[in-house]
Amino acid sequence: MSYRPEFEAALRILARASEAMRAQGYEPPVLVGGGAVELYSNSAITTGDFDLVIGRAEALEQVLQALGFVKPFNATVGMRGWLHPDLKLAFEIVSGALLDGMAERDRVLLVDLDRDGIAAVIAVEDMIADRMGQFASGSAPEMREQARRLLQLHSDVDRDYLDRRIRQETAGEYGIEDL
């Protein structure tokens, strides 16, 4: 791996949390958002937190606590983040369904972190499509550039799936040709 040390440390803790969830018979959390972008860009694009999708949020919260995570004492209303004293990135449970059920779970990348376990990461195609959806909303114009950079780094993507997912995320306004 060629990631910044803070990211790799957080990825290893995510793998440990994932293994604990599997041991309880649950699906592991899936890394999405900026954390997935950082993974797919080899830390060329960095993040400040790990956004996680999991159907069993309460079980994951217990696992995070067992791993030393805490909720900030003066958390603002709506704060869902968990902090670990040894990490410089927060973990946040953002959803129970992978891109509202539009992403295909069998495309999730499994990252083997040796003794720490395996971490699940949303497919690069779905991450590119998500970024294009944010761009199309008009609220995040910089996301198109992130999508372009990810496609440049991963030219071996499933282009048909990517085009379909971009069109889903942008209500048909954009496709792969717009990258």
| pTM of the complete model | 0.92
Distance separating alpha carbons of residues 179 and 174, to the nearest angstrom: 9
Q: Which CATH number is 5-122 given?
A: 3.30.460
Distance separating alpha carbons of residues 174 and 2, to the nearest angstrom: 32
Tell me the β-bridge partners of 121.
31, 109
Can you give the residue ranges of every domain in the chain? 5-122, 125-144+152-169
Task: Encode the chain (179 residues) as per-residue pLDDT tens digits.
Answer: 689 999 999 999 999 999 999 999 999 999 999 999 999 999 999 998 999 999 999 999 999 999 999 987 655 555 568 988 888 789 999 988 888 888 999 999 999 999 999 999 999 999 999 999 999 999 899 999 999 999 999 999 999 999 999 999 999 999 999 99
Cβ atoms 127, 98 nearer than 8 A = no
Cβ atoms 89, 47 nearer than 8 A = yes
